[in-house]
Amino acid sequence: MAELGYASGTRRQQVLLLVALNEWIKKNKLTLRQLDRHQLDRFVIDRKRKSSCFVGSGNVVALEKLAQLLRDEGAIPLPPPVKDWRSDIEQEYSQYLLRERSLSLSTEKYYLEYAHQFLVESGLQRSELDQLRATDVTDFIRRHVRDGSPKRAQLMVTSLRSFFRFLRLRGDISKDLADCIPPVANWQLSGIPKFMEPADVKTLLKHCDRKTPKGLRDYALLLLLARLGLRACEVVALTLDDIDWESGKITIHGKGKKRSQFPLPQDVGMAIAKYLRRGRPQCSSRRVFLRTRAPLMGFVSSVNVSSIVSRTLKKAGLNPPCKGAHLLRHTAAVQILRRGSSLGDVGEVLRHVDISTTHGYVQIDMEMKRRALGKCNPIGTNIGLKKLLEKNKDVIGWLESL
């Protein structure tokens, strides 16, 4: 517990809990091998009768952690597996996604979430899966399509198509239910990606209190997002071994288990180094960015990174339409375009697998070229316009498409 950063008072409280558990085991003439879930529940009930503050003190959570530790050490038996046909299908589907489809763990998690939700809401038994009809699927989609953003809805229908193909491959269903799932309209070029102006980015960074460990962490994390345009999941996965200080390079673990190496900007490197020296707590974790409260460990998911962005935006008094980590990724892409780089350069830096993803920045690029043409006023003659286009050949294609 000391290694995980728990305070001395918390450690003492949980040690006293173990003393009480030990005395309870002796009193009931039990052996450690008999300490299963049922006996732990009995101990909790007994402690509740003697102390009204037992539930609110975190003791139940501490007992769960102790039980898991004892199971890992082989001191107490593992709980009997729950016989649930849904769990069997979900486990096999998980292996299919990871081995056959080579999806990342984060994507596999979302796919399993929708598969589990559909199986639970269907209310069917395994032998009844072949009775599913197209209306059962479309009704489920109608109920949940507006639960989140259009992209979230797209993820839902994509994951359901994958799940029904898997069920048909296994022989659980005979109909091709994947083809009955309607697409979700979310045209990539229908809107301009949300981004921040450089002045707002500076304001955001100024509101990180770099006199505190938490402020040092948040400043380094936000600067990394704004300068390199990383995804939140890539920040979560960043380890100490991914930074080569001698060569000034950083390795990014992107989508599809792809690794990319980029130069580490000096200001970002200095911010991370300062956090490592003065703000990062000492622990066994190799993750670069850690929690500031016990247990000291890396972030659980991308949500933690987006929460830091959202919280700092609120502190800085900024209210952009998008408040997650992707806001700074779009901001980095716009800055690349403003420096005169092409859309291809943006896709390379942001590590887009599909070029259609980069096309979302087409409208921003077109607007910049329009402004550039408006600022350059070549005499106002056809000869001047011809000379301008000769110097800016990449503009010709855009003008022809307008």
Is 326 an annotated catalytic residue? Answer: yes
pLDDT-derived band at 71, boundaries 50, 70, 90 = confident
Annotated catalytic residue within 47, 210, 280, 352: 352
Q: Among residues 365, 324, 313, which one has the least CA distance to residue 343?
A: 365
User: In the chain, where are the structural domains located?
Assistant: 8-73, 85-180, 192-402
List, for residues 223-246, the tens digit of each pLDDT value: 999 999 898 989 999 999 999 999
What is d(CA 401, CA 397) in angstroms, rounded to the nearest whole number? 6
* Secondary structure class of 208 (helix, strand, coil): coil
Separation in Å, CA 354 to CA 154, 199, 347, 350, 351: 16, 31, 9, 11, 9
List, for residues 129-161, the tens digit of each pLDDT value: 999 999 999 999 999 888 777 778 888 999 999
State yes or no: pLDDT of 171 exceeds 80.
yes
One-letter amino acid at 171 equals G
pLDDT at residue 384 in the model = 47
Q: Among residues 231, 216, 383, which one has the least CA distance to residue 306?
A: 231
pLDDT at residue 84 in the model = 75
Give every strand in the sheet of 249-253, ordered side by side. 243-244, 249-253, 259-263
- Report, in this order, helix, strand and coil percent for the chain, each rounded to 5: 65, 5, 30
Beta bridge pairs of residue 298: 290
What is d(CA 214, CA 208) in angstroms, rounded to the nearest whole number? 8
Annotated catalytic residue within 227, 329, 330, 351: 329
Provide the mean pLDDT of the chain: 82
pLDDT at residue 16 in the model = 86
Q: Count of CB atoms within 10 A of residue 327's CB?
A: 24
Annotated catalytic residue within 361, 370, 375, 386: 361
Q: Count of CB atoms within 10 A of residue 375's CB?
A: 7
Separation in Å, CA 84 to CA 11, 37, 348: 37, 19, 45
pLDDT at residue 301 in the model = 85
Is 253 an annotated catalytic residue? Answer: no
Instruction: Residue count of the chain, please give it.
Output: 402
Annotated catalytic residue within 255, 359, 369, 370: 255
What is d(CA 236, CA 291) in angstroms, rounded to the nearest whole number? 11
Annotated catalytic residue within 47, 326, 330, 351: 326
Is 202 an annotated catalytic residue? Answer: no
pLDDT at residue 202 in the model = 94
Q: Among residues 58, 57, 55, which one has the least CA distance to residue 44?
A: 55
The mean per-residue pLDDT over the stretch 280-295 comes to 90
**N- to C-terminal Cα separation, the chain:** 64
List, for residues 199-224, the tens digit of each pLDDT value: 999 999 999 999 999 999 999 999 99
Annotated catalytic residue within 231, 280, 291, 351: 231
The mean per-residue pLDDT over the stretch 23-37 comes to 87
Class assignment of domain 85-180? mainly alpha
- Residues 150, 185: contact at Cβ < 8 Å? yes
Tokens of 143: 């109920």
Is 255 an annotated catalytic residue? Answer: yes
The mean per-residue pLDDT over the stretch 370-392 comes to 49
pLDDT at residue 380 in the model = 42
pLDDT at residue 351 in the model = 75
Is 29 an annotated catalytic residue? Answer: no
Superfamily of 192-402 according to CATH: Intergrase catalytic core (1.10.443.10)
Is 329 an annotated catalytic residue? Answer: yes
Q: Are strands 243-244 and 259-263 parallel, antiparallel or unpaired?
A: unpaired
Residue labelled with tokens 């003659």? 381
